[in-house]
Amino acid sequence: MILNWIDWTIIIAFMGLSWYLSTQYKRQKIQNLNDYFLGGRDLPWYVAGISMVATTFAADTPLAVAEIVAISGISGNWIWWNALAGGLLTAIFFAKLWHRSGVLTEAELIELRYSGKAAHFLRKFKGVYLGLFINALVIGWVNLAMISIIQVLLGLSNEQAFWVVAGLMLFVTFYSTISGLRGIAIVDVLQFSLAMIGSFLLAWFVLSSPEVGGLDGIVAKLGDKGTLNFFPQIGGDSASQIWVLPMGSLIGFMAFQWWASWYPGAEPGGGGYIAQRMMSTRTDKDALKATVLFQVLHYCVRPWPWILVGLSAIILYPEIAADEKRLGFVYTIRDFLPTGAKGLLAAAFLGAYMSTISTQINWGAGMIANDVLNVKEKTEKQQLKISRFVSLVLALIALFVTTQLTSIKAVWEFVFQAGAGLGLVLILRWYWWRVNVYSEISATIAPFVLYGWLKYTGSGIVYEASLGAGYNYIFVVAVTTLVWLITTFATPAENTQTLKRFYQQVKPNGAWSVVGHIVDYKDLGKKFATWIGLTVLVYGVLLLIGKLLLS
């Protein structure tokens, strides 16, 4: 065990403060589902924005970034940096629409936008699929990462670390069920602040070590290996530290992934806990500001201390096996932080873990209670009891799923591939009246079928061998898009009454001629200009920070 009593005091104090802050909101009388799952739709925009980025900062995130850097260099981060364009697209074009929809969950939007038995089925299906199945997988991979961290920090076996994580998860579940979303969001601000302070502190101590020699030492020791390149090399020596990106992967990342793929936290058109935070703000303008703040913090502020620690780990631990590169980040905590600082970093990891788990539990329970069990038919007191019980059951299911998972990467691949091609439907359902419920159903099913065919028949291996890495994904996106377009025109449009109701409530600007709307091209032009300008600006700041650090 590498923690002493001072470190444990810091950890316990942090957990106690998190519990105290969350329980304060029990006194504010959570009276209904809006209070419990959306914070009464009264969150300040900056709290909602920080809560978004805190949720995406899980225990696995810095380890994943460090692993990417160790294997592929800085340029490897384009595997997630590419999503910035889609994130800002969500902010500019969809944040206000989500807020104006007035729904409690993203699945509820289905029966606002579509009608009939098919819409009712899709709402319940997505409630189970997203709120339970995908949610349990996400919680499972976050738990796997936390187990790895605890094994190193406390010197425990895998089984012992699992039970520690199980206890932590139940602790988080209990405080999140007491406070609802408002308490979760407020605690997120504390947890994110501590996590970032801890990350910068770790980077400072590691860079200050004589083995690394500061930023100049990183440049001197890694600069000639291609590890510090900000952009991937297309082709070249795959044995070097340069991330050699096949053309198919480049096209997939930069031209398709940010808009075409559904992925938790990066849903095209918004969704998941991002939509939940948008809907929890006071006004539609606050929803926009919160989402823009999230993108800036997520891409420009958060990654650089992790990248610097990841680069340092290459120098410090060259012997780490390729499949364990993520542990380099944890080893730096063990080897370079003094007493007290170790406790602060451990608390920071706890904060990152707790913020993610509390949100996933609350958001998933909202989908199950509201969209699957339809608790709105109960009294408000019964609604809250059922919602809290569902939260506990969801946590227990996720713990079981954790025991069945062996690879975070495999789960990432499945979730990513299973959503390939769905994104465009989720975008166009707001702006094109002709998209119907069967469009979304077919776009949801097609990637599953294609993923199974490519993976389990061996076709994917043959296809990738003949055309190159990355084309499997492009193939799935293309076929899925073709399937849902054919389905759209082969099935009847939604009835006019449903479309009018949706349009009058949400007020989207787009192809809504069926309800007498004329497209305001000036408004759309302003949105596109804002989106492109912000995307260039945020990418510029991201790369400028890296250039200043490592030039």
Q: By the 8 A CB rule, do 113 and 502 touch?
A: yes
Least confident among 50-59, 452-461, 463-472: 463-472
- % of the chain exceeding 70 in pLDDT: 91
Q: Reduced to 3 states, what is the DSSP secondary structure of residue 299?
A: helix
How far, in Å, CA of 296 to CA of 314, rounded?
28
How far, in Å, CA of 205 to CA of 491, rounded?
62
Task: Give the per-residue pLDDT at 468.
Answer: 45
Kindly report the number of other CB atoms within 10 A of residue 94's CB atom. Answer: 26
Least confident among 249-263, 411-425, 439-453: 249-263
How far, in Å, CA of 347 to CA of 63, rounded?
16
Domain extent, residue 134, equals 38-406
Dihedral, CA atoms, 264, 265, 269, 274, nearest 10 degrees?
A: 130
Q: What is the pTM of this model?
A: 0.89
414-446 burial: b if 16+ Cβ within 10 Å, else e: ebbbbbbbbbbbbbbbbbebbbbbbbbbbbbbb
Structure-token pair, residue 484: 């849902």
Task: Give the per-residue pLDDT at 551.
Answer: 79
Half-sphere exposure of 61 (CA within 13 A, CB side): 28
In a domain, 367, yes or no: yes
Q: What is the DSSP string of 398-455?
A: HHHHHHH---HHHHHHHHHHHTBTTHHHHHHHHHBTT--HHHHHHHHHHHHHHHHHHH
Cβ neighbours for 138, distance < 8 A, ≥ 6 positions apart: 264, 360, 415
Q: Reduced to 3 states, what is the DSSP secondary structure of residue 126?
A: helix
How far, in Å, CA of 178 to CA of 104, rounded?
19
CATH code, 91: 1.20.1730.10
Mind listing the pLDDT tens digit for each residue in 275-287? 999 999 999 999 9
- Say if residue 288's pLDDT is above 70: yes
In a domain, 141, yes or no: yes
Which of 350, 82, 324 lies closest to 190, judged by CA? 350
Q: By the 8 A CB rule, do 364 and 131 touch?
A: yes
Q: What is the DSSP string of 25-36?
A: GGTT---SHHHH
First to last CA, the chain: 38
How far, in Å, CA of 428 to CA of 418, rounded?
19
How far, in Å, CA of 15 to CA of 170, rounded?
13
- Which class for 397: exposed (0-12), middle (13-18), buried (19 or more C-beta within 10 A)? middle
Mind listing the pLDDT tens digit for each residue in 342-387? 888 888 888 888 889 999 999 999 999 999 999 988 888 899 999 9
Half-sphere exposure of 446 (CA within 13 A, CB side): 27
40-68 burial: b if 16+ Cβ within 10 Å, else e: bbebbbebbbbbbbbbbbbbbbbbbbbbb
250 or 86, greater pLDDT: 86
Number of independent structural domains in the chain: 1
Q: By the 8 A CB rule, do 139 and 410 touch?
A: no
Q: What is the mean pLDDT of residues 480-492?
A: 96
Task: Give the per-residue pLDDT at 497.
Answer: 95
- Alpha carbon separation from 504 to 400, 496, 524 (Å, rounded): 44, 12, 18
How far, in Å, CA of 426 to CA of 439, rounded?
10
Cβ neighbours for 537, distance < 8 A, ≥ 6 positions apart: none
In a domain, 318, yes or no: yes
Q: Which residue has the tokens 């680069």?
A: 311
How far, in Å, CA of 393 to CA of 410, rounded?
25
Least confident among 55-64, 199-208, 292-301: 55-64
- Say if residue 123's pLDDT is above 70: yes
Q: By the 8 A CB rule, do 196 and 301 touch?
A: yes
Task: Give the per-residue pLDDT at 499.
Answer: 96
467 or 312, greater pLDDT: 312
Q: By the 8 A CB rule, do 103 and 270 touch?
A: no
In a domain, 414, yes or no: no
How far, in Å, CA of 442 to CA of 414, rounded?
18
Q: What is the mean pLDDT of residues 89-111?
A: 95
- Alpha carbon separation from 512 to 428, 479, 485, 519 (Å, rounded): 11, 27, 18, 8
- % of the chain exceeding 90 in pLDDT: 53
Which of 95, 94, 52 lies closest to 302, judged by CA? 52
Compute CA 365 distance to the chain's CA centroid, rounded to the nearest angstrom. 17
Q: By the 8 A CB rule, do 95 and 278 touch?
A: yes
How far, in Å, CA of 266 to CA of 160, rounded?
33
Task: Give the per-residue pLDDT at 114.
Answer: 97
In a domain, 130, yes or no: yes
Q: What is the mean pLDDT of residues 325-339?
A: 87
- Say if residue 203's pLDDT is above 90: yes
3-state secondary structure 517-542: CCCCHHHHHHHHHHHHHHHHHHHHHH
- Say if residue 181's pLDDT is above 80: yes
Highest mean pLDDT out of 143-147, 213-217, 240-244: 213-217
Highest mean pLDDT out of 12-16, 151-155, 533-537: 533-537
* CA angle 48–198–214, rounded 5-degree value: 125
How far, in Å, CA of 204 to CA of 194, rounded?
15
- Say if residue 242's pLDDT is above 50: no
Structure-token pair, residue 528: 């596109």
How far, in Å, CA of 170 to CA of 176, rounded?
10
Structure-token pair, residue 171: 């602790």
In a domain, 108, yes or no: yes
In a domain, 226, yes or no: yes
